[in-house]
């Protein structure tokens, strides 16, 4: 089976954190949303997913996050064949992935601090063990003075950064972000992107689904382009593969 050299070019299957082999997906008895996808992502790589509305970008992220199952094909996540994972073992894989959802999914009755700490609480950590780490992370994303604020009082860009903080607080090996700059202005989009660049430098594999072609062009990162359910990997867009806007 041929594999595009722009994606996980220097790795074999054992080294890839994500691998899709002939993966297709449909909802119910409807038409295929994704068709015969073949790609792999190397640890510490950084990719954008682009494509028109309805192309399947969010569906692709759901497959990686184990929030949906393929209608055919094989998916390997961290070397595990996810088809053989059970309801007991799948959560362990999902805890290795951070997700910035398109609708953010902040809990309105919790403060910014408590929203950011949710993944740690779910994993069983005690507040005394993570209080300083969460406060430091919120300061890093520019919310140090807003950690006790409720989501309803936060501006759009602050909510985006809070969602990012929550997604990375447990130091995931993969970060998935679904249109993370859709509701912010240009300057804030660049600021958010710089946060992702820094996380990537620390070793996190980053996958961002976006319509923001300007951000993609400035970034110099490889692209997985979806259209009509088909995926076309492309090389780095813009200045250089290591560039930040």
Question: Above pLDDT 70, what percent of the chain?
Answer: 90
pLDDT at residue 12, rounded to an integer = 54
> Which domain, by its residues, includes 218?
1-96+173-245
- Statement: residue 9 has pLDDT above 60: no
DSSP H helices in 65-222? 90-94, 112-122, 127-140, 156-168, 186-201, 213-219
Among 144, 171, 198, identify where a domain stops.
171
Give per-residue pLDDT as tens, 59-82. Answer: 999 999 999 999 999 999 999 999
Q: Are residues 53 and 118 in the same domain?
A: no
Pairing of strands 97-100, 223-227: unpaired
DSSP code of residue 227:
E
Cβ–Cβ < 8 Å for 178, 58: yes
pLDDT at residue 160, rounded to an integer = 87
List, edge to edge, every strand of the sheet that includes 80-81: 32-41, 18-26, 72-77, 80-81
Q: Are residues 88 and 4 in the same domain?
A: yes
**pTM of the shown model:** 0.84
DSSP result, 18-50? EEEEEEEEESTTS-EEEEEEEEEE-TT-EEEEE
């Amino acid at each position: 089976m041929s594999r595009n050299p722009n994606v996980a070019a220097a790795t074999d299957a054992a080294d890839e954190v994500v691998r899709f082999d002939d993966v297709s997906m449909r909802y119910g008895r409807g038409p295929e949303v994704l068709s015969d996808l073949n790609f792999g992502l190397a640890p510490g790589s950084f990719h954008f997913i682009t494509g028109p509305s309805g192309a399947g970008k969010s569906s692709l992220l759901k497959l990686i996050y184990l929030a949906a199952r393929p209608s055919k094909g094989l998916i390997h996540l961290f070397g595990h064949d996810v088809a053989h994972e059970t309801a007991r073992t799948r959560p362990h894989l999902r805890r290795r992935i951070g997700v910035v959802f398109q609708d953010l999914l902040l809990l309105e009755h919790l403060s910014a601090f408590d929203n950011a700490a949710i993944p740690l609480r779910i994993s069983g950590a005690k507040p005394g063990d993570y209080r300083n780490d969460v406060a430091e992370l919120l300061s890093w994303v520019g919310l140090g003075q807003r950690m006790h604020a409720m989501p309803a009082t936060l501006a759009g860009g602050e909510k985006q950064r809070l969602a990012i903080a929550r997604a990375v607080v447990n130091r995931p090996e993969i970060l998935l972000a679904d249109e993370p700059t859709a509701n912010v202005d240009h300057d804030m989009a660049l600021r958010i992107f710089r946060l992702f660049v820094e996380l990537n430098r620390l070793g996190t594999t980053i996958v961002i689904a976006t319509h923001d072609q300007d951000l993609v062009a400035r970034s110099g990162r490889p692209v997985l382009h979806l259209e009509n359910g088909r995926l076309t990997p492309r090389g780095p867009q813009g200045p250089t593969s290591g560039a930040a806007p």
